[in-house]
Amino acid sequence: MASLTNKIKQKALELGFHQIGIARAEALSAESEHLAEWLESGLHGEMKWMERDPGKRADPRQLFPGAKSVISVALNYYTPHRHEVGSETGKISRYAWGDDYHDVMQAKLRELLEWIKTEMPEADAKVCCDIQPIMDKAWAVRAGLGWIGKHTNLITKEYGSWVFLGEILINLELDYDDLIEPDHCGSCTACLDACPTEAIIAPYLVDSKRCLSYATIELRAPQLPDEIVKNLDGWLYGCDVCQDVCPWNRFQKTTDEEKFEPRENNVTPKLDEILSLSHEEYVVRFRGSAIKRTKLSGLQRNAKALTEKVSENRDDDILE
């Protein structure tokens, strides 16, 4: 089966994936135990969906019966643009600047699967990209793509941490990558030291409730917690601080995937424009964008918090 495995890897690169590895489909005992402890501690906040389907998260064969191999891929999304600095704008996390990565990744994964089926008509598989209950980062590690850093993102030697992950669970026995990339974080604590809310409470452990990305994207409360508002520093949607300071991101490379180039006004949008959006305008502006995840109410909540913080700071300056 070596020739098929090599062909799959070559085809994946031709389709635009930047890394690919293959692991045996089996239970993730240690990884699922760590996840269970994290959930038990309540560190996932309101992300109740992470509590569902523990068996499927622990073993891909429960998610897709008949799975024998996990094809894991990484897609570099880094573009070298920068946020504008200003009190009237808000910063968007880099991953959401362009088209929704779910759409881009799934299209490539399906194309790869269709090609595999032309080579092996008996192939049956399931495509996964963030939505399905599968531990993407754990499988990327098993497939030799990189290691999980202290900020809990996957880090690759070739592209740093600016990568999207996806999998194909397939009923074929392929050749497996047995070279696991060791942890290269060493004694570095840059991400822990830089996190504005100290959400990385220990190496490899994040308290989502403190995290700016969680608060501005996943949290559905009508108002942001005071501790979050105090430390927003312009972040309207998401936060990239722990990745921006990671020394391994000095190896970042500009992606060749044009769909990840920023859409107009998607890097540092004006806050007054966000606050004035109607539902219809919001739907049109963010169609096919990951930013729709937070919904209009969440995005405007975040924009309001930023504008009020700016106003508060100005009042303090006047009083001084």
Catalytic residues: 130
**Closest to 211 in 3D by CA, of 223, 221, 201:** 201
* 303 Cβ neighbours under 8 A, 6+ residues apart: 90, 236, 271, 274, 275
**Closest to 159 in 3D by CA, of 258, 237, 256:** 256
Contacts 24+ apart (CB under 8 A), 135-140: 135/28, 135/31, 135/32, 135/35, 135/57, 136/72, 136/165, 136/166, 136/167, 137/165, 138/28, 138/31, 139/23, 139/28, 139/60, 139/70, 139/72, 139/165, 139/167, 140/21, 140/72, 140/74, 140/165
* 95 Cβ neighbours under 8 A, 6+ residues apart: 77, 101, 164, 238, 290
How far is Cα 214 from Cα 238, in angstroms, rounded to an integer? 7
